[in-house]
Amino acid sequence: MPDACVIFDIDGTLVDTVADDARLYGAAVREVLGDVSIRPRWSDYEHVTDAGILRQLCLENRLDIARCQQRVRTRFGELMAEHLCRDGSCPSTPGAVSLLGKLRGELGCRIGIATGGWGHTARMKLARAGYDVAGIPLTSSDDAHERVRIMEQCRALLPETAVTLYVGDGEWDQRASELLGWRFIGVGSRLRGSCQHWLPDFSAPNLLQTLLG
């Protein structure tokens, strides 16, 4: 196996939470900011991260970014905690929990997590989905509002390796990986047919070959 560093996205990659995350984020924005102008899709914003979307939304609506971000971040965390407590629904992507254990254990890969979400909600979802992320560097919208910077900061926390891979489910993940010169692995239906290396989930029989081949 190559000397590899593998960095994972969270929503849509390690956990099946894209729809709930988008819904609760939107609810937090509307509760805190009221009747503001919001683009039709979160993907319409330049930086598709929790901090990046809110930053642009505040600029376009002439709102104070720092004040609004703290309030939206807090409310989003409350809504996510309530959702997980009430519904308990935060399924891991098939095969992902065992994959992380295998990569860290017998294969000795360096593992990181770089998400466009905020750190507090990211850790809530990972814990509920059954991941043990103790000792795994995790960077988020708390560290930067641009996805490339979030990914760079995660990489800086890991040892140098021969290969760096990023695993994600969105076209923004793919673009950021290309800008950084990293190998990209697409996961899930949104990227099917759109990238060179793709997996439906992490239960495929040729999983390690696709990831590390």
Taken in order 205, 108, 170, 198, the sign of the CA dihedral is negative
Q: Final residue of a domain: which of 53, 87, 121?
A: 87
162 is written with which tokens? 């021969």
Q: Which helix (H) or strand (E) holds 8?
A: strand 4-8
Q: Final residue of a domain: which of 40, 64, 87?
A: 87
The residue written with tokens 């990227």 in the block is 191
If one counts the domains in the chain, the total is 2
* Residues 101, 201 within the same domain: yes
The strand pairing partners of 113, in sequence order, are 8, 138
The pLDDT value recorded for residue 111 is: 95
> Could you tell me the mean pLDDT of each successive run of 10 residues in the chain, 213 residues long?
85 93 96 93 95 96 94 98 89 94 87 97 96 95 98 96 93 96 93 88 81 74
* Residues 128, 54 within the same domain: no
129 is written with which tokens? 């989905």
Taken in order 34, 36, 40, 45, the sign of the CA dihedral is negative
Is pTM beyond 0.85 here?
yes
The pLDDT value recorded for residue 9 is: 97
Is residue 67 classed exposed, middle or buried when 0-12, 13-18 and 19+ CB atoms within 10 A define those classes? exposed
CATH number for the domain spanning 142: value is 3.40.50.1000
Q: Final residue of a domain: which of 65, 87, 109?
A: 87
**Beta-strand runs (E) in 64-177:** 110-114, 138-139, 163-168
* Residues 201, 98 within the same domain: yes
**Which residue segment(s) compose the domain that 136 sits in?**
4-17+90-212
* Residues 78, 104 within the same domain: no
| Cα–Cα distance measured from residue 163 to residue 52, given in angstroms and rounded to the nearest whole number | 28
* Residues 115, 206 within the same domain: yes
200 is written with which tokens? 């439906």
φ/ψ of 204, rounded to 5, equals: -65, 145
* Residues 139, 104 within the same domain: yes
* Residues 32, 12 within the same domain: no
